[in-house]
Each structure stands twice: as C-alpha cells, then as structure tokens.
Homo-oligomer: A and B are copies of this chain.
Amino acid sequence: MGKAAERRKELAEELLRVGEKTIRRKGLAGLKARDLAREAGCALGAIYNVFPDLDNLILTINTRTLAAFQQHLAEAGLNEAPESSQSIEANIDRIVRLAAAYVDFAAANQQRWRALFEHRMGGLRKIPKWYIEAQKPLFALVEKPLRELEPGLGDQELALRARNIFAAIHGVVDLGLNQKLADMPVAVLRAQVSEIARALAGGLLSTRRGEKPSAPR
C-alpha cells in the first residue's frame, strides 16, 4: 500500500471511530459531517475522499454494530445442554434466549442499536447490497432454531418468518425502551419479551400444524 492509500485508510478509520463515539453519545441525529471533520482533524471535503457519502460512513459504523449485536446474540444462543438441542422445547428456548439477549444488547447499546433502525438513505438511493448482506448473520441465528422446529419450511418462508419474529421482538423492545407505552425497567422488559418470544414461537408452530388453542367444541 502506498503512502497516500495508507493515509486514506487511517483517516477512514479515524472517521469511523469518531462517528461511532458521536452516535454513542448523541445518537444518530447528532452526527454532522462538519463536527466529524473537526473532531477527526480533517477538512470537511476530506470525508468524501474516503467515503462516497455520509450514508456510506454511517452504514459502515452500523455493520460494526451489527457484528457486535450478532456476536452477543450468538453467545446467548449457545449456552445450552447439547443433548437436548433437537427437541421442540430446546429450540423454542433458543429463540427465547435470543429475544432476552436482544433486550440486553439494546439496553446496553441504545444509541448504536437505534442507529441501525433510524438511518434512512439520503435522496432516493437504495440500501446497498453489502449492507443487506451484513444483516444476514443476525437473521440466521433465528432461522437456525426455526428450521429445526419446522423442517418443512422453504428457504424464503423461513427467512420471512425469522424476520417477522425479529421484528415483533424489536417492536416490544423498541417501545419498551422508548418508554412511550409503559415505564418498564430492563428486567421486566426482558421477562415480557421472553414471554412474547415463547408464545410467538410456540404459536407459529401450532398454527402451522393446524392446532388450535383448545376451543370449546
């Protein structure tokens, strides 16, 4: 790598570091190109020598958050007795643990976590493919127990179901941490989210099988 390329790389890294720090402190809405440049000690225009635009910089920070998020969830899904890993309950438990871990990560990293969802592409640009790819390992964690629960599901159906479970849990965590709907301490939220995840995973399985909650005949 030439000297110029090395300097570009260093500046990119510094901008990402400063950008992430800003998001942690002030949230995504507090991230301004002018402040970034000042804190990283470069000219405003220099940002655009190393990133095509601010969206690209933010999405790069977000992929790091996604990786940390994914690692946190993966660890939560792992601590289990392997001999029971094939049973229905073990797989529902895995989904419940993932949901509880979702609460913990979101509560501990609120601003970075919110930035994942608050970011909108400028203009009419589409979310780039590499960013969509970066989300996949997160969903794969939910897809794995779902696949064991319902081996008959096609890949598309499985992906959609995993995303919907993710989104439902996200909704409960989002509004819970937002405290817009109710004033909720994290431990209570974790219990609530676990209950929702268990009901959802079990309920989807029952619905799929055509079972109905014991209705009066």
Contacts and interface: CB of A to CB of B under 8 A. Distances in A.
Interface of A: 87-89, 92, 117, 127, 135, 159-160, 163-172, 174-176, 178, 180-182, 192, 195-196, 198-207, 209, 211-216
Nearest to A27: B120
Contacts of A207: 195, 198-199, 202
Given A168-B171, A211-B214, A215-B87, A182 B200 contact: no
Contacts of A200: 168, 196, 199-200, 203
A135 B182 CA distance: 11
Interface centre among A174, A200, A212, A216, by most chain B C-beta atoms within 10 angstroms, is A200
A138 to B, nearest CB: 10
Given A92-B213, A171-B171, A172-B171, A164 B196 contact: yes
Q: Considering the complex of A and B, which 3 residue pairs feature the smallest CB-CB distances, nearest first?
A: A171-B171, A203-B203, A199-B203
Nearest to A215: B88
A167 B160 contact: no
Given A203-B200, A207-B198, A207-B202, A216 B168 contact: no
Nearest to A179: B127
Contact of A180 (B117, B169, B174): B117
Nearest to A170: B171
A163 B172 CA distance: 8
Contacts of A205: 213
Nearest to A116: B180
A97 to B, nearest CB: 16
Given A88-B213, A214-B211, A199 B206 contact: yes
A87 B217 CA distance: 10
Nearest to A90: B215
A25 B29 CA distance: 21
B215 A204 contact: no
